Structure 1
Amino acid sequence: MLTPRSLAFALVIPALLLAGTWQPALVPLAGAYAVGLLVLLGLDWRGAGGAGQFRVAREHDSKLSLAAENRITVRVTSRAKRPVALTVQDEPPLPFAGEHASLMHADLAPLETHDFVYAVRPLKRGDYRFGDVNLRWNSPLGLVVRQGRYPAAGPVKVYPNLHEIRKYELLARRDQLAEMGLHGVRLRGEGTMFESLREYTPDDPYRRINWKATARRARPISMEFEPERSQRVVIAVDVGRMMRSPIHVHEPDGPAWNMAKVDFVINSVLLFSYVATLKGDQVGLLVFADRVKTFIPPRAGPAHFQKLLEAMYALESEPVEADYSRALMTLGAQNKKRSLVVLFTDVSGARASEALARVMPSLLPRHLPLLVTIRDPALDQEAGQQPSSSDGVYRRMVAEQLITERRLLLERLQRQGVLTLDVSAEHMTMAVVNRYLELKARSLA
């Protein structure tokens, strides 16, 4: 491909031909100039080198995380013996937000290896495929640009947000879980299960001092224990019609994007079930729409968590109304022992509200029910606006009515003994985990 520089040189040819109408001697000069320019272009094209002078590899996690920024690295090694101005265009899956960032530029020194890094945000779970990597590089004289396409196509899987689990593990080791928004709820007492390290206080018994940690930090460090109490947690996820609707998220310092409610729920369920597994609890999963799609009985341990993870990866929503009665009847028949039953759903419409008000209290007193509902920020925003037209007045009236119906339902359930948590999609994960830790600390489940 010709560059603007070569086109500028080529414009000399018609200028000489035009001048040749007055000075005929310039016409042969134009011909000689054209031949010389073609030869120069050919030599410059050859001097740019072929695609074989580069080595290209794409690196990323084997499992990408839903709704998180996933780092993608395109590593290019130049074997050219001259500096190269290189442009890289990767081909991430089209449904990923942030694919525009896959166009990158860099100047590579001779024999240099450079990492071209960008991030993508998958907005739906499932199987996807990266395409090839395209390169463009300059010639020594800058007259032409050559390009090559490197075969790098390959599959990739998008799972629920595994980044949150890695972040939790890292901050837990540092005793800095507050940075994730998790409250310091602890089960204090004479337990035998190690929980964490903390600063020594004068009322701590000497046998709780961790002498190795004390030596490393040059100050007294105590060990925190918690009672070994295994509880049962059953997570029920509504994947019916209302859970398919998108939530609009606008990050303060980033782009805006949309993701289905059910995918926000799956991200929350992932970390929730992971934390519960770490606490030694038995975790089960029930997925339903108009019928029960999946039921995994409560079990404990890392292997069982992997089973839950695979089930959440394959979970799909359906364009049908959720049947709460059938789902909770199945749960009651399959799970006889007392459990904390956490139901994730969206409350919209009188029919769904009445069904929830009828079936959720039926779990009492055998189980402890917790209803988690997703609050759409667009609804709150619409209700808080000052309308400037009749259409705006109507939208605000409808939004206020829906919010009122939602509040009355939650208050009714609370009076009947059902725990409730109404939270926005962006804050759902930490809110659910915090409520679980609070219930576990109070031994309510």
Structure 2
Amino acid sequence: MKKFIKSLYLQKRFFTVLFSLTVVFVFSYFFENLFGLCKFLLLLCFAFLLFDILLLYRNKVGIQASRILPEKLSNGDDNDIEIQLINRFQIKTSVKIIDELPVQWQRRDFEINTILKPSEEKKFTYTVHPTERGEYHFGNLNVFSSSILGFAARRQQFAAEQMVPNYPSFLQLKKYDFIAFTNRLKRFGLKKIRRIGHTMEFEQIKEYVPGDDVRNINWKATAKRNELMVNQFQDEKSQPVYSVIDKGRVMKMPFNKLSLLDYAINATLVISNIALKKHDKAGMFTFSRKVEDRVVAQRRNAQMNLLLETLYNIKTDFSESDFSRLYIDVKHYIKQRSLLLLYTNFETLDALHRQLPYLQAIAKTHLLVVIFFENTELKAYLNKSAETTHQIFEKTIAEKFVFEKKLIVNELQKYGIQSILTAPEDLTVNTINKYLEIKARGLL
């Protein structure tokens, strides 16, 4: 009985009819002939209610529902969730679905409304957009069924409590994995860079064929064989590419609900995959007060899974990042010259100057690329017209901060340090372009 009472919900239509009858009862005080009619209508109302309840509960199965979740969610992307419904009633049924979404989304107004014919099956897909890595716990699936009378509704609660992890953006990984090796690069902002010259990694001596570069003729081998022989070279491969992620407080700034740290994590996953496909070694580590989450640069089948799990488990803090500790660890652990993609953020020139000696020291032995972010909200504010003195003052301050970012780029160039100043949403594309440029120019 308790279960029945908990599952029964009186609908708005029933209370509307009841309120109307109450008004008629008030008028019957003045018109006695209405009183008998009011009693009859009231009895008829409750008779309809009982009949409606009988329609909803005579079938024990009612509605069958299930939720289908992906194995994992992709952070910062649209993910599809599917709900399947089967109507086991013998009548046409109105259905309202309320899914208990994870607390991270703070949504309490989610519902899906539909009408099902007898024995009809329907599938519904809705989209979620997670912005925090971690575990997402879905609650029960609540289905409210009502007949054509609409006086009552029967709630069926399906135990669909599920946990799905939210990983760094593997959907971006798949997208850029495809386009980076096709001819559709320009459509996504990627630049196809022509490689100038060749590297000096010797492969073999072979017979000359028309079209070979005459500058590569090996005259000693030609004299011995009495025919033209040329040196054949191959591209340098298996070069270490490290993504270095600053997880201090400067990376906690959110843009479009996604923190700079998560933008860097998503870009790290993509660039590591492309580096492996380009036959380089991919690795990573994070730093704040100390260097953590270290993955040694290697080229093996399990490397991407190791990187994905490491990026998923990165824990953030709000401390000031220690660049001196970063320099010590890089010098101690990375012996081979490597490409270091440093994801951090500098808001002022003074902030850069405090860390510049350590960046210069790292750049002496490695190819360092400092990647930091534009404040897109400030740039959007600058596009608005100023109408008051206060707004003019604010725009002047905003222009100063935007200009200071450009000064940081010039300061890094002055000391021979590569840099990328990018909007957060363009981070992945700009990082790939810089990597392809470095490979094409043979800088590493």
Q: Same fold (TM over 0.5)?
A: yes
Letter in structure 2 aligned against 1:296: V
State whether structure 2 residue 281 is matched by structure 1 residue 273: no
1:87-138 Cα distance to aligned partner (Å, 9 max, x none):
11112213238x5784212222221221121111111111121111121222
Letter in structure 1 aligned against 2:128: V
Query: 1:323 is matched with which residue?
Result: 322
Relative to 1, partners in 2 of residues 1:75 and 1:101: Cα closer, same or farther, differing over 3 Å? Answer: farther
Relative to 1, partners in 2 of residues 1:170 and 1:86: Cα closer, same or farther, differing over 3 Å? Answer: farther
Which has the larger Rg? 2
Deviation of residue 172 (structure 1)?
6.0
Q: Separation in 2 of the partners of 1:322 and 1:414?
A: 22
Letter in structure 2 aligned against 1:42: L
State whether structure 2 residue 140 is matched by structure 1 residue 132: yes
Q: Separation in 2 of the partners of 1:271 and 1:153?
A: 32
Query: 1:160 is matched with which residue?
Result: 168
1:338-381 Cα distance to aligned partner (Å, 9 max, x none):
10111010002455311332222222342111111111112223
Q: Separation in 1 of the partners of 2:71 and 2:103?
A: 18
Letter in structure 2 aligned against 1:444: L
Query: 2:290 is matched with which residue?
Result: 291
Relative to 1, partners in 2 of residues 1:340 and 1:36: Cα closer, same or farther, differing over 3 Å? Answer: same
Secondary structure of the residue aligned to 2:130 is: coil
Answer yes or no: is the 8 Å Cα contact 1:76–1:113 preserved in 2: yes
Relative to 1, partners in 2 of residues 1:309 and 1:390: Cα closer, same or farther, differing over 3 Å? Answer: same
1:52-83 Cα distance to aligned partner (Å, 9 max, x none):
32222111221101111111111112222222
Deviation of residue 158 (structure 1)?
0.8
State whether structure 2 residue 368 is matched by structure 1 residue 372: no
Query: 1:114 is matched with which residue?
Result: 122
Query: 1:194 is matched with which residue?
Result: none
Deviation of residue 407 (structure 1)?
2.0
Relative to 1, partners in 2 of residues 1:100 and 1:270: Cα closer, same or farther, differing over 3 Å? Answer: farther
Give the length in aligned residue pairs: 403
Q: Separation in 1 of the partners of 2:439 and 2:80?
A: 36
Answer yes or no: is the 8 Å Cα contact 1:236–1:343 preserved in 2: yes
Letter in structure 2 aligned against 1:113: E
State whether structure 2 residue 96 is matched by structure 1 residue 87: yes
Relative to 1, partners in 2 of residues 1:299 and 1:93: Cα closer, same or farther, differing over 3 Å? Answer: same
Letter in structure 2 aligned against 1:233: V
My pick for the range that moved more, 327-336 or 396-405, is 396-405
Query: 2:408 is matched with which residue?
Result: 409
Deviation of residue 309 (structure 1)?
1.0
Deviation of residue 238 (structure 1)?
0.5
**Alignment counterpart, residue 65 of structure 1, candidates 74, 77, 96:** 74
Query: Where does 1:250-261 land on structure 2 (aligned, <5 Å)?
Result: 258-261=257-260
Secondary structure of the residue aligned to 2:103 is: coil
Deviation of residue 144 (structure 1)?
2.1
Deviation of residue 188 (structure 1)?
9.4
1:189-232 Cα distance to aligned partner (Å, 9 max, x none):
999xxxxxxxxxxx9xxxxxxxxxxxxxxxxxxxxxx9472211
Q: Percent identity?
A: 25
Letter in structure 2 aligned against 1:41: L
Answer yes or no: is the 8 Å Cα contact 2:368–2:418 preserved in 1: yes
Q: Separation in 1 of the partners of 2:382 and 2:27?
A: 73
Q: Separation in 2 of the partners of 1:371 and 1:432?
A: 10
Q: Separation in 2 of the partners of 1:360 and 1:383?
A: 32
Q: Separation in 1 of the partners of 2:120 and 2:434?
A: 52
Query: 2:299 is matched with which residue?
Result: 300
My pick for the range that moved more, 421-430 or 268-277, is 268-277
Q: Separation in 2 of the partners of 1:12 and 1:403?
A: 64
Q: Separation in 1 of the partners of 2:67 and 2:442?
A: 49
My pick for the range that moved more, 400-409 or 420-429, is 400-409
**Alignment counterpart, residue 39 of structure 1, candidates 47, 51, 60:** 47
User: TM-score if structure 2 supplies the norm length?
Assistant: 0.82
Q: Separation in 2 of the partners of 1:428 and 1:304?
A: 22
Letter in structure 1 aligned against 2:47: V
Secondary structure of the residue aligned to 1:76 is: strand
Query: Where does 1:190-269 land on structure 2 (aligned, <5 Å)?
Result: 227=235, 229-247=237-255, 249=256, 258-269=257-268
Letter in structure 1 aligned against 2:91: R
State whether structure 2 residue 428 is matched by structure 1 residue 429: yes
State whether structure 2 residue 65 is matched by structure 1 residue 56: yes
Relative to 1, partners in 2 of residues 1:110 and 1:313: Cα closer, same or farther, differing over 3 Å? Answer: same
Query: 2:311 is matched with which residue?
Result: 312
Which residues of structure 2 form unaligned runs of 5+?
Answer: 1-8, 200-210, 212-233
Letter in structure 2 aligned against 1:368: L
Q: Separation in 2 of the partners of 1:108 and 1:435?
A: 54
Secondary structure of the residue aligned to 1:236 is: strand
Secondary structure of the residue aligned to 1:426 is: helix
Which residues of structure 1 form unaligned runs of 5+?
Answer: 192-202, 204-225, 250-257
Query: 1:215 is matched with which residue?
Result: none
User: TM-score if structure 1 supplies the norm length?
Assistant: 0.82
Q: Separation in 1 of the partners of 2:348 and 2:180?
A: 41
Relative to 1, partners in 2 of residues 1:274 and 1:340: Cα closer, same or farther, differing over 3 Å? Answer: same
